[in-house]
Amino acid sequence: MPGFSELNLRPELLKAILEQGYTDPTPIQVQAIPQVLAGQDVLGGAQTGTGKTAGFGLPLLQRLLPHANTSASPARHPVRALVLTPTRELAAQVEESLRGYAKYTGLRTTVIFGGMNMDPQTEALRRGVEVLVATPGRLLDHVQQKTLNLSQVEVLVLDEADRMLDMGFIPDVTRIIKLLPSKRQTLLFSATLTDDIRKLSDSFLNNPVMVQVARSNATADSIKHVAIPVAREKKRELLSYLVQTRDLKQVLVFTATRLGANRLAYQLNRDGVHATAIHGDKSQPERLIALNDFKEGKVRVLVATDVAARGLDIEDLPHVINFDLPNSPEDYVHRIGRTGRAGATGEAISLVSPEEHERLEAIEKTIRVTIPRELISGFGMDSRSVSSLVPQKPHGEVRRERSGDALSGARRERPRDRERPAGAPAQGARRSGVPADPIFLEPYRPTVSQPSAAAPARGEITSARTSGKPAVQIAALLGGFRLKTK
């Protein structure tokens, strides 16, 4: 495999990546960098964690290098590259990476997303910036407010396009693309290259080159999968038990709903396990603080929903625990993609209640692995439920622990106990079944009427935070949020 020095990257960029500690390019970088440097449109099949940001970021910066200048005049620093991402966290992380790569180029980068005061963003845009990373809604807010001009964009990157599609962002993206020069380079990255993604590529890209790494549903071989049968009402207790008895230090836990995430974090803290939740109800600064505390080891357990965790760059995470199994097997792949990266070993533990059995089977089919079941003493299941969860002929490791206790006791849970995600449409309404953050479900609506206030992200539960009325807060907590008015 060629090294970075063989990829024709300029010394300014090589110096920056050396500083980042990168010694060799990743497979997606080897494939994408020459194509992007050559000015080709690229359709990239790669998920977060593969190094795709440098894959498009380094050649993109190199192409913009001739425009680098030290002039203080904003007119000399128009937006020349636009990177659109589905979530605020991903936007922040991509911009942080690009800023690092651009360190010695003289090119400016900035990020804009909802949930933050618009004023500092407006100020950064006013000063001039060559590389802009944004979520679609907030970008349109700035366009509406005339604080952003996109007429000189030369390169457009659509990052995690599959997620943008799932989250209903494509109308906003289409609107944004209409504001860009038609002569431009477009790069589209997606974890999966489905028919829908190819259709998007057909409409937005011009004769693209396809680059792809790893099968979309592949999971790292270094990950150990385990499913622990447990009655639903005992899951929280089991989680505390596992974290404490196995001395797990840095655990990312997934729940189906934001309400569930909050409640679980609260209960874990009560159990003496330091935990925090990260989800769409939290303000952006709150989310970033939670993420940093977790990365620095100040918080032992980070409880997240799929949407909130999307694109989180947490390296070498040893443990992912599915408190609730995801609705779609692809989300299982995404969830555990955070562990076992770059050859590190990781463990993905799923707490599986009887009514989640079908989901577990769908996951096993997708990842083509029979996940070994592990019975833990004291966390009761009735024998029928257990036998339905324990495969007759597991391919992999077999049960490691068995106990009479585990086969007795717990009552079967009624399916209606399962929560529907706050604000999410009824089951089956969405293609991927990802618990939806309402922020992603609404069409674009400007939020710029009061530019000096901290403008909320679209669909965000502003009333819960700004109103002192308990009735509103309770409604928000139970999933109520701004009603659409027609």
Q: What share of the chain is helix, strand, coil (3-state, %, to 5)?
A: 40, 15, 45
* 3-state class (DSSP) for residue 199: helix
**Judged by CB under 6 A, which stretch of 48-56, 116-124, 277-285, 450-458 contacts ligand AMP?**
48-56
Burial letters 355-390, b for 16+ CB under 10 A, else e: bbbebbebbbebbebbbbbbbbeebbbeeebbeebb
**Residue 462 in the binding site for ligand AMP (CB under 6 A):** no
**Residue 26 in the binding site for ligand AMP (CB under 6 A):** yes
Q: Count residues near ligand AMP (CB under 6 A).
A: 15
Q: How far is the CB of 272 from ligand AMP (least distance, A)?
A: 32
Tell me whether residue 22 or residue 266 sits nearer to ligand AMP (CB atom). 22
Contact 115, 94 (CB under 8 A): no
Spatial CA neighbour of 91 closest among 160, 26, 145: 160
**Judged by CB under 6 A, which stretch of 44-52, 72-80, 227-235, 460-468 contacts ligand AMP?**
44-52
Half-sphere exposure of 462 toward its Cβ, with a 13 Å CA cutoff? 14
Q: How far is the CB of 17 from ligand AMP (least distance, A)?
A: 7
Q: Which of 44, 49, 137, 372 binds ligand AMP (CB under 6 A)?
A: 49
**Residue 192 in the binding site for ligand AMP (CB under 6 A):** no
Q: How far is the CB of 450 from ligand AMP (least distance, A)?
A: 35
Contact 449, 144 (CB under 8 A): no
Which DSSP category does 58 fall into?
H
State which amino acid sits at residue 205: L
H/E element holding 77?
A: none
Half-sphere exposure of 295 toward its Cβ, with a 13 Å CA cutoff? 11
CA distance 249 to 183: 50
Burial letters 197-216, b for 16+ CB under 10 A, else e: beebbeebbeebbebbbbeb
**Residue 159 in the binding site for ligand AMP (CB under 6 A):** no
CA angle (280 as vertex; 278, 283 as ends), nearest 5: 80
Q: Which of 31, 33, 41, 51 binds ligand AMP (CB under 6 A)?
A: 51
Q: How far is the CB of 44 from ligand AMP (least distance, A)?
A: 11
Q: How far is the CB of 212 from ligand AMP (least distance, A)?
A: 14
Tell me whether residue 48 or residue 255 sits nearer to ligand AMP (CB atom). 48
The site map against ligand AMP for 81-110 (x = CB under 6 A) is ----------------x-------------
CA distances from 271 to 119, 155, 466 (A): 41, 50, 31
**Judged by CB under 6 A, which stretch of 47-55, 116-124, 199-207, 350-358 contacts ligand AMP?**
47-55
Q: Which residues pair with 31 in a beta bridge?
A: none
**Residue 19 in the binding site for ligand AMP (CB under 6 A):** no
Tell me whether residue 53 or residue 240 sits nearer to ligand AMP (CB atom). 53
Tell me whether residue 1 or residue 483 sits nearer to ligand AMP (CB atom). 1
**Judged by CB under 6 A, which stretch of 21-29, 66-74, 427-435, 473-481 contacts ligand AMP?**
21-29
Q: Which of 53, 192, 240, 462 binds ligand AMP (CB under 6 A)?
A: 53
Q: Which residues pair with 471 in a beta bridge?
A: none
**Residue 162 in the binding site for ligand AMP (CB under 6 A):** no
Binders in 274-333 for ligand AMP, by CB under 6 A = 313, 315
Tell me whether residue 29 or residue 190 sits nearer to ligand AMP (CB atom). 29
**Judged by CB under 6 A, which stretch of 25-33, 213-221, 434-442, 460-468 contacts ligand AMP?**
25-33
Order of strands across the sheet that contains 81-84:
109-112, 131-134, 81-84, 155-158, 185-190, 42-45, 209-212
**Judged by CB under 6 A, which stretch of 45-53, 262-270, 326-334, 382-390 contacts ligand AMP?**
45-53
List strand residue ranges (DSSP E) for 36-184, in order: 42-45, 81-84, 109-112, 131-134, 155-158
Q: Which of 25, 229, 280, 337 binds ligand AMP (CB under 6 A)?
A: 25
**Judged by CB under 6 A, which stretch of 19-27, 60-68, 80-88, 433-441 contacts ligand AMP?**
19-27
CA distance 108 to 127: 10
CA distance 105 to 17: 12
In the complex, which residues of this chain contact ligand AMP (CB under 6 A)? 22, 24-26, 29, 48-54, 97, 313, 315
